[in-house]
Amino acid sequence: MSMERAEIQSLKMPMQMVPERKSKEAWVKTGYIGLLTLFLLIFLIPVVLIIINSFKDEAEFYARGVLSLPLKPSLDIFREVWQLVEFDVKLYNSLLISTAVALLGLLISVLNAFAIGIGKIKWGKFILAFFVFAMVIPHEALAYPLYYMMKMIGLYDTKLAVILILSVLQSAYGTYLLSSVFRTFPASIIEAAKIDGCNKWQILMIVVALNKPALSLLLVFYFIWTFNEFFLPLIFLVSNANQTIPLAVTLFQGQYTGYATMQSACSLLGILPCIVFFFLFQRTLTQGLVAGGLKG
Partner 1 sequence: MKTRLDRGYYWFLIPGFLLFIIFVVLPFIANIYLSFTRWSGVGVPQFIGLKNYLRAIDDFNFWLSLKNNVVIILVLTTIPTVISLFLAVFLFQYVAVKVGKTTANIFKAGFYLPQIIPVAIIGVIWKWIFQPNWGALNVILEKIKLGNLAQNWLGDPNYALGAVLLVMVWFQIGYPLVIFISALQRIDPQIYESARVDGAKGLRMFFSITLPLISPEFYVVVLTTIIYSLKIFGPIFALTRGGPGNATTVASYFSYKNFFEFSNVGYGATMSTIISLIILLITVVYIKLQNFESTEGE
Supply the DSSP symbol for 21: G
DSSP characters over 242-275: G--HHHHHHHHHHH-TT-HHHHHHHHHHHHHHHH
Q: Is 250 in the site for partner 1 (CB under 8 A)?
A: yes
Q: Is 27 in the site for partner 1 (CB under 8 A)?
A: no
**Given the rule CB under 8 A, which of 73-81, 83-91, 213-221, 246-254 is the region that contacts partner 1?**
246-254
Check if the beta carbon of residue 175 is closer than 8 Å to that of residue 116: yes
Say if residue 138 is exposed, middle or buried (CB neighbours under 10 Å; 0-12, 13-18, 19+): exposed
**Given the rule CB under 8 A, which of 31-39, 69-77, 79-87, 213-221 is the region that contacts partner 1?**
31-39
Minimum distance of partner 1 from residue 242's CB (angstroms): 16
Binders of partner 1 in range 91-130 (CB under 8 A): 108-109, 111-112, 114-116, 118-121, 127, 130
CB-based contacts of 35: which residues, under 8 Å, 6+ apart? none
Query: Measured from the CB atom, is 32 or 92 closer to partner 1?
Result: 32
Name which position in 71, 133, 192, 202 contacts partner 1 (CB under 8 A).
133
Query: Measured from the CB atom, is 2 or 212 closer to partner 1?
Result: 2
Check if the beta carbon of residue 104 is closer than 8 Å to that of residue 167: yes
* Total site size for partner 1, rule CB under 8 A: 100
CB-based contacts of 168: which residues, under 8 Å, 6+ apart? 105, 108, 134
Binders of partner 1 in range 194-233 (CB under 8 A): 194, 200, 204, 224, 227-231
Query: Measured from the CB atom, is 19 or 257 closer to partner 1?
Result: 257
Integer angstrom CA distances of residue 125 from 136, 185, 218: 17, 17, 21
Q: Is 31 in the site for partner 1 (CB under 8 A)?
A: no
Q: Is 278 in the site for partner 1 (CB under 8 A)?
A: yes
**Given the rule CB under 8 A, which of 76-84, 85-93, 137-145, 211-219 is the region that contacts partner 1?**
137-145
Q: Is 46 in the site for partner 1 (CB under 8 A)?
A: yes
Check if the beta carbon of residue 136 is closer than 8 Å to that of residue 241: no
Check if the beta carbon of residue 271 is closer than 8 Å to that of residue 245: no
